[in-house]
């Protein structure tokens, strides 16, 4: 049986709704994500969680580095230090991806498993057809939330062999 693609399972409005709830609860009651695309700068940071199940892929949050720092301050509020440590920013960005990812997982067919948050350069989109992406502005700053599929292992092209030995 062919695995479903994400666009058969959820739409942008659902991802936006999940993100709105996360922002309102974690970032601030009056904080909104305006569903308007903006242009990310050259220095971005991403966080993501992996979902493995009938649909497998990652839920990726990407924003500019200074947006990540502002998000961290918003999450920590009065506990935000004057100088943010990189670990704090990674932690905050990872937790936002974790909450959005956990709620994306909840609307997908199960059983599924959720990985721990990771932070770094954005994972590559391997299948645009298996991707559901929301672009939004927070405090006028652009960010994206991408629910993007991971190709099944059996979907990989056959490995190359020479004289019967895997290359």
Partner 1 sequence: MKILIADDSRVMRQIVIRTLRQAGYDDHDIVEAEDGRDAFDKVKAEDPDLVLSDWNMPNMTGLECLQALRSSGSGVPFGFVTSEGSVEMREKAADAGALFLIAKPFNEDTFKDALDGVIV
| Interface with partner 1 (CB under 8 A) | 21-22, 24-26, 29, 72, 75-77, 79, 88, 91-92, 94-95, 98-99, 101-103, 105-106, 110-111, 114-117
Of 41 and 110, nearer to partner 1 (C-beta) is: 110
Question: What are the distances in angstroms from CA 31 to CA 70, 119, 142?
Answer: 12, 23, 14
β partners of residue 137: 34, 142
Residues 143 and 137: their CA atoms lie apart, in Å, by 6
- Min dist CB 100 to partner 1, Å, is 8
Q: Least distance in Å: CB of 21 to partner 1?
A: 5
Minimum gap (Å) between residue 48 Cβ and partner 1: 13
Of 37 and 113, the one with the shorter C-beta distance to partner 1 is 113
- What is the four-CA torsion angle of 94, 123, 120, 24, rounded to 10 degrees? -30
**Residue with smaller CB distance to partner 1, 30 or 154:** 30
In this structure, what is the dihedral angle of CA atoms 82, 94, 15, 33, given to the nearest 10 degrees?
10
Rounded Cα distance, 146 and 128, in Å: 10
- The CB-of-145 to partner 1 minimum distance in angstroms stands at 14
Q: For residue 140, which phi and psi values (nearest 5 degrees)?
A: 80, 0
Q: Which is nearer to partner 1, 54 or 102 (CB)?
A: 102
């Amino acid at each position: 049986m062919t695995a479903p693609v994400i666009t058969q399972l959820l739409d942008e409005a659902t991802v936006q709704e999940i993100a709105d709830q996360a922002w309102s609860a974690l970032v601030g009651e009056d904080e909104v994500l305006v569903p308007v695309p903006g242009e990310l700068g050259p220095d971005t940071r991403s966080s993501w969680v992996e979902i493995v199940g009938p649909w497998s892929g990652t839920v990726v949050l990407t924003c500019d580095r200074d947006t990540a720092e502002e998000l961290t301050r918003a999450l920590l509020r009065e506990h935000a230090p004057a100088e943010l440590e990189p670990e704090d920013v990674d932690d905050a960005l990872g937790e936002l991806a974790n909450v959005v990812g956990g709620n994306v997982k909840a609307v997908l067919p199960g059983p599924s498993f959720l990985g721990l948050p990771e932070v770094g350069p954005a994972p590559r989109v391997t299948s645009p057809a298996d991707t559901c992406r929301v672009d939004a502005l927070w405090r006028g700053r652009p960010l994206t939330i991408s629910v993007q599929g991971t190709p099944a292992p059996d979907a990989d092209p056959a490995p190359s062999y020479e004289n019967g030995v895997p290359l």
